[in-house]
Structure 1
Amino acid sequence: MNKPLIVLASIAAGVAVLAACMQKQPDADRLPDQVSYNFHIRPILSDKCFKCHGPDVNHQEAGLRLDIPERALAALRETKGAFAIVPGFPDSSELIRRIVSDDPGYQMPTPDSHLGQLSEKEVALFRKWIKQGAKYERHWAFTAPKKPALPEVSDKKWAKNEIDYFILAGLDQAGLEHNDAADPEHLLKRAALDVTGLPPTPAVLDSFLQQPDDAAYAARVDQLLNSTAFGEKMAVHWLDVARYSDSYGYQDDNIRTQWAWRDWVIHAFNENLPYDQFVTWQLAGDLLPGASREQILATGFLRNHKYTEEGGVIPEEYRIEYNLDKTKTYSKGVLGLTVECAQCHDHKYDPFSQKDYYRLFAFFNNAKELGFEGDITSSKPAKMPVLKLTADEVHNTLQFINYKDTGSLMVSVMGENDTLRKTFVLNRGVYDQPTVQVLPAALPAVMSYDTVNIPRNRLGLAQWTVSRQNPLTARVWVNQVWQEIFGRGIVKTSGDFGMQGDLPSHPELLDWLAVDFMEHGWDTKRLIRQILLSNTYRQSARVSKKALQEDPENIYYSHAPRVRLQAESVRDLILSTSGLLVSEIGGPSVKPYQPKGLWEAATSGRGELATYQQDKGDKLYRRGIYTFIKLTVPPPSMILFDASNRDQCEVKRLQTNTPLQALAMLNDPLVLEASRVFAQKLLAGNKDATANISLAFRTILCRAPSSKEKEILGKYFEQQLDAFRKGKLDAAKTVAVGEYPPDPTADKAQQAALMKTINLIYNMEEAIVKS
């Protein structure tokens, strides 16, 4: 081909590319004024490009790496004279040419990658970003948060505190409006459930309704935060993070005595231990100068993982496995990162190399614990190293531990070897394939470990973790607290603040809260109080058609969310409203009602947990947090309502809605017994069915029934009573449920009818939903 034809062909190709770009260019008003690498470009790269051009050096194609500017802006190896990105000149950038091409042999992503082509808006974002200079930014979560100024909003009078400014600014931008305030009854129920996991009593509601103003509401919030039930509610989430259980897991799954650590967690939340200390004690309490018994006990956090008791195992394999679990729990639960992906190879999306992983792993690799301590026949209540607590210590020094025995109590805790154990990068993560040796160091992509003079042990890691310069720790905890209240975090992927995680819906709010949290002493109660006193939180849960259509996930918080209670709180609400709840704090886990044969079908047949021994008396009516968790057979009633199985660190539970949940509410012995006992207690004080139904309704739902609801429930009661009176239904058999003593003088037909009516109220969706 002669030179003029080559020139014409090149011009034609350029025109074709330009035309394709122009065809895919959406309206300018759909694009942000300033395109951000972090919030607009990197998410596309992460989804479409990093598989072949990301941090994982073992899977980089054509020598092109798009996650760092030095490599992304360099000349291409395989296309001479071309550059993937030419800042300021999108039409000269090979990236643009390839993402708009329809040629299967030229386009990116390649058809065989099955990643799909970029959308029109994504292409336009790339073009505008490159035209604006293709400025790279450090990943938002790895940049220390700064406290932004409050944004301008349309209605300053609505803002109760700083949270409302950021939320209202988002609503203004989205063209949405905030909701009116929730009515006082719904608001107090919501706050009580969020802070204590228990509903307010009718007496508390009556008192609040007499003067439901801002001052009275703030006072009620303070009372809730100062309740000992607060620590129990908060501890449920942390037990998920810490993978707490009452057995060791694996095949034999024998009993363990780690519950004293759970008592400490409840105590720490009730005492409002600053979060930086809360984390430090759990990571390295044993290494603190003059460490107290309480600080050593706190390190049980790292020892809650599974342990094998099976003969014939390779001890070193399991010792490595235990430390891998510690590394994952710390990185996911405290830092909100998926560092475990780098156990076998460099992380494919985040800037964590395999060496980075094993440097982090090295902090835990010097622990004294063994991989195997013997089989089930030499059953021990704890694994070495242990903290042995005498009854005198518990009663005189560690009084928050609910221990009634006179013997010693042993808890698995952390301890360091006197001689440093060497740590190696493991080839493909296999325990017996060590390669190069590494020394302990935290993740350099997050923050340098050498910026402060700290030791290279767990105490140094803790100090690095809670440093004011660490960009993750405060953000991650604030996000988890927000998630526990609103049902989703400001960062939806609360366990992944990395490249593949969701971007924060309100980044300025998250940063403001994180900095404010650190400025005020890492005070968790203060943080929760800020959230509950905001108008954002106080909104009604009613949803407008516009909000439902334009913001179906309620990302902008135009209304309060409707979130089902956690599994433990479902149990707690039933026990509390029926009058069955035993409000004792702490102590050994209990075994309530459970279907027969479950444990026996999933056990080795050895050890204390070979058969299920149901508890009796008050132990049947303890809060859900104290239910015995056997790892191989988690409590079925809890699992039905999406409780964590505690097999590994979990920072966010699923929220499902299945027929099994409805069947449980209709047939679970606890719900039936609670309905029977509630009816029994109501009838002991008043024989008026209408009054009793109204009181039961208000106790369970925290509001008075409407006239229509009274009519429906009244008719149902009369129908059931008639059926019991005429013998169509067996009243004696109906009320013969549960172990709480019956009232032998009660009218069984009336009791059975009221029991079934109360059970109907428990089965209303509103009963177990925050609204």
Structure 2
Amino acid sequence: MRQILSLLVSILFIAAVLLGCGKDASYSETSEKLPDVVSYNFDIRPILSDKCLACHGPDANKRKAGLRLDIAENAFRALEENPGAHALVAGKPELSQVFLRITTQDTAERMPPMDSNLKLSQREINLIGKWIKQGAKYEKHWAFVAPKKPKLPQVDREDWPLNEIDFFILQKQEEKGLKPNEEADKERLLKRLSLDVLGLPPTLKMMDDFQADTRPDAYERVVDQLLKNPAYGEKMAIHWLDLARYADSHGYQDDGYRTQWPWRDWVIHAFNENLPYNKFVTWQLAGDLLPNSTKEQLLATGFNRNHKITEEGGVIPEEYRIMYVTDRNDLFGKGLLGVTLECAHCHDHKYDPFSQKEYYQMFAFFNNVDEKGIESVIGGPETYAKNPLMEISNEDAKSILSFVNKPDTNRLIVSVMGDLDTLRRTYILKRGAYDMPGDEVQPGTPNAILPFNKNYPKNRLGLSKWLFDKKNPLTARVYVNILWQEFFGRGIVKTSGDFGMQGDLPSHPALLDWLAVDFMEHGWDVKRLVKQMVTSATYRQAATVSKEKLAVDPENILLARGPRYRIHAEFIKDLVLSSSGLLNKTIGGPSVKPYQPDGLWEGATSGRGLLSVYKQDHGASLYRRGMYTLIKRTVPPPTMGIFDASNRDLCEVRRLKTNTPLQALVMMNDPAVLEASRVLAGKLLQEKGTLEAKITKAFQLIVCRQPTEKELDILMRYYEKEIKTITPETATRMLTVGEYPLTKNVDKIRQAALMQLISTIYNLEETITKT
């Protein structure tokens, strides 16, 4: 009786709504217009994923009432608890239990349940009602459908686009009544480009040459010039080091030193040589399994030995070995496929169509490595790398591995991949526990993405072939999205590590598909893709924002203005060193230990090993690029951590962007910034010219543009004020910061005053912001 009354109330409610809304009913009053055609993928699935699938999704163990809503066949069948009713009846929301239960006034019947703390908005209810009215058509999740190259959209302003990217961006803007910004001025555009392609500010010569070049293709010429610069490989390597969780220590309690940096040298080399992305990844996944594999291809497999490794006594070896394999499997899912595969480690995925069995089928590809959970106790050079390993000889560094910056004749070993001679069996682990094996599984891939081709070998090389199969819907999309994120600050899919049901929908789905297919059609050419992005009119826009644009699109999702955000932690250091003339441009080699507050390592150590005490480096090592700073996982570099650098514990495809007072304190007090200010001040005072010219040059070197008259006047008056207030004793104390030799034959008070002024310029928001 209660169910009948509830049903009658619901039917009366729907009837009233339909009568009130007319033929094109939206099922309730709402000020927000619904789409003419409601899409399952873009309108309905996000609602189900957020509010329904935890109880009515892929995870059979958590499923309620036997109802599964993520598959059409299940959603349309008769209900287990009420065979006379159906969750969905195409075209008839008034007979669909889903709609009746989300609109009922009976709180005991309403879905989602009251105790879930979830609630549908009126717009979400209206969308579901209209979708059912239109036939309740299901679609395969957009990210699991192989991309097809769409036609370029029609736009009103046909004179604006400079390449194909711009047509897709402009179409979305015009739909929202927005217009793109004008092109940024040459100074700001060059700074943006140089920071994005090299991770370094432009030199004065680059600025002067670009300003003087009036040819129509002047900008494209600069792009080509920068792509040939060896610093390009260093800049591009940063996002890959995050993804590959590269670090210089093993990561657990003892956190001993490791020598994986030759693999980092290879990554830089591969980007500079423009190794196609399919080869770049295949060598890293399975270089050891390639026919007639070279030592370079074997070195590339260090990619999957960057994970944390224990050296503690008393651990259970098999527990940790399983953790290592799990890490590789999860990285493959998040970093290369852009899915949260790790959620199926203990049970079927709650939102995406990945079973626990499929998780361990993927796991099997990485489970045959000839390794142990614990190999040795922390100690000498033989523990810097773990088996399987390769040794890089002096001869190697002069020939096939000439890109490895081997600075001495000491033994150099790197952890790489290498499989057992016999196959190690793989089992589903109940609840993910290493000591609770279930059914045995064979290597395989999630069917929802792409079934594994039977002609591929069932090893990591076969997995690589599957990854770069043209039918694989994710590989190209995911990497294109990561690169878009690098240049625009936000991916086309914001959740760049999650293209699944719980991830954000793409802001420009057609553009993402066009870029993915185009990337594959042109041989997975990374430099070509970078050039496409940075030569677009979209990228070249000024970053200024009007009140109207801020109101319509506060996050700049529609890209009606240029990207504006703080640069990565490593590049802040690079900018400071480069602008002051201190930068050591040596590429590759071991990581270095620059200035760091005392006692950090000592306060978090077991007291054993090379990394128990922080022994700062000296000389040229202090002035290496930020990417070469030694990363001890248990105590990551504090300055870089404050600016949101990855601690490299796990695969990370997107860094957070925070804004805290600690960042200002770093820029004001970091010895590296103060030393750079001192050195640059000394150099400028040794040059001929007026004070105004010296301040202008400092501003140009740091901010990468000419100061305005007002800015220059403020800086001049600040300098004069400092000259009057700084005493000889204060000047001497100020100038002793850092280890770089003091400038000779320069008045100390004048140098200290100019140092203060330069430090102030370094502390401008614009200095460390891409505008």
TM-score range, shorter chain: over 0.9
Unmatched runs of 5 consecutive residues or more in structure 2: 22-26
Cα offsets for 1:465-511 (capped at 9, x unmatched):
11111100000000000001111100000000000000000000000
- What is the deviation of 1:632? 0.6
Q: Is the counterpart of residue 666 in structure 1 residue 663 in structure 2?
A: no
User: Which residue does the alignment assign to 2:78?
Assistant: 75
Q: 1:390 aligns with which of 393, 405, 416?
A: 393
- What is the deviation of 1:407? 3.5
Q: Is the counterpart of residue 31 in structure 1 residue 34 in structure 2?
A: yes
Cα offsets for 1:16-47 (capped at 9, x unmatched):
23335768524697111211111000000001
In 2, Cα distance between equivalents of 1:467 and 1:447:
9
One-letter amino acid matched to 1:293: K
Query: After the TM superposition, which residues 264-663 of structure 1 pair with which residues of structure 2 at under 5 Å, given as runs?
Result: 264-377=266-379, 380-450=383-453, 453-663=455-665
SS of equivalent residue, structure 1 residue 425: strand
* Conservation of the 8 A alpha-carbon contact between 1:604 and 1:610: yes
Deviates more, 1:10-19 or 1:518-527: 10-19
- What is the deviation of 1:156? 0.8
One-letter amino acid matched to 1:46: S
In 2, Cα distance between equivalents of 1:346 and 1:560:
42
In 2, Cα distance between equivalents of 1:65 and 1:434:
28
User: Which residue does the alignment assign to 1:86?
Assistant: 89
Percent of aligned pairs with the same amino acid: 59
Deviates more, 1:290-299 or 1:8-17: 8-17
* Conservation of the 8 A alpha-carbon contact between 2:6 and 2:106: no
TM-score by length of 1: 0.97
In 2, Cα distance between equivalents of 1:654 and 1:28:
34
SS of equivalent residue, structure 2 residue 365: coil
- What is the deviation of 1:687? 5.6
In 1, Cα distance between equivalents of 2:210 and 2:629:
33
Change (3 A) 1:212 1:242: farther
User: Which residue does the alignment assign to 1:767?
Assistant: 767
- What is the deviation of 1:295? 0.4
Change (3 A) 1:28 1:249: closer
Cα offsets for 1:556-598 (capped at 9, x unmatched):
0010121101000000000000000010000000000011111
In 2, Cα distance between equivalents of 1:355 and 1:8:
44
- What is the deviation of 1:680? 0.7
In 1, Cα distance between equivalents of 2:214 and 2:35:
43
In 1, Cα distance between equivalents of 2:595 and 2:30:
62
SS of equivalent residue, structure 1 residue 435: strand
User: Which residue does the alignment assign to 2:243?
Assistant: 241
In 1, Cα distance between equivalents of 2:10 and 2:462:
58
One-letter amino acid matched to 1:738: G
One-letter amino acid matched to 2:708: S
* Conservation of the 8 A alpha-carbon contact between 2:169 and 2:538: yes
* Conservation of the 8 A alpha-carbon contact between 1:391 and 1:409: no
SS of equivalent residue, structure 1 residue 153: coil
SS of equivalent residue, structure 1 residue 363: helix
In 2, Cα distance between equivalents of 1:537 and 1:170:
15
One-letter amino acid matched to 2:555: E
Q: Is the counterpart of residue 753 in structure 1 residue 753 in structure 2?
A: yes
Q: Is the counterpart of residue 52 in structure 1 residue 49 in structure 2?
A: no
Cα offsets for 1:361-403 (capped at 9, x unmatched):
0000000011011211466121001011111011122110000
Query: After the TM superposition, which residues 699-738 of structure 1 pair with which residues of structure 2 at under 5 Å, given as runs?
Result: 699-724=701-726, 730-738=730-738
User: Which residue does the alignment assign to 1:742?
Assistant: 742
In 2, Cα distance between equivalents of 1:694 and 1:16:
72
Change (3 A) 1:656 1:439: same
User: Which residue does the alignment assign to 1:19?
Assistant: 16
Q: Is the counterpart of residue 135 in structure 1 residue 132 in structure 2?
A: no
In 2, Cα distance between equivalents of 1:404 and 1:644:
27
Change (3 A) 1:149 1:741: same
SS of equivalent residue, structure 1 residue 536: coil
Unmatched runs of 5 consecutive residues or more in structure 1: none
SS of equivalent residue, structure 2 residue 246: coil
* Conservation of the 8 A alpha-carbon contact between 1:26 and 1:121: no
Change (3 A) 1:545 1:7: closer
One-letter amino acid matched to 2:92: F
User: Which residue does the alignment assign to 1:147?
Assistant: 149
In 1, Cα distance between equivalents of 2:274 and 2:330:
26
In 2, Cα distance between equivalents of 1:711 and 1:28:
52
SS of equivalent residue, structure 2 residue 538: helix
Deviates more, 1:679-688 or 1:25-34: 25-34
Change (3 A) 1:286 1:10: closer
One-letter amino acid matched to 1:761: I
User: Which residue does the alignment assign to 2:24?
Assistant: none
In 2, Cα distance between equivalents of 1:623 and 1:755:
22
Q: 2:68 aligns with which of 65, 69, 72?
A: 65
* Conservation of the 8 A alpha-carbon contact between 1:402 and 1:585: yes
Q: Is the counterpart of residue 171 in structure 1 residue 168 in structure 2?
A: no
Aligned pairs, number: 764
One-letter amino acid matched to 2:347: H
* Conservation of the 8 A alpha-carbon contact between 1:309 and 1:376: yes
In 2, Cα distance between equivalents of 1:700 and 1:13:
67
Cα offsets for 1:69-97 (capped at 9, x unmatched):
01000011112311111011111111111
Change (3 A) 1:15 1:385: same
In 2, Cα distance between equivalents of 1:764 and 1:168:
33
Change (3 A) 1:8 1:246: closer
Q: 1:227 aligns with which of 223, 226, 229?
A: 229
- What is the deviation of 1:749? 0.5
In 1, Cα distance between equivalents of 2:379 and 2:489:
45
Query: After the TM superposition, which residues 189-208 of structure 1 pair with which residues of structure 2 at under 5 Å, given as runs?
Result: 189-208=191-210
- What is the deviation of 1:124? 1.5
Change (3 A) 1:399 1:311: same
Cα offsets for 1:227-286 (capped at 9, x unmatched):
100000010110000000001111111110000000000000000000001110000000
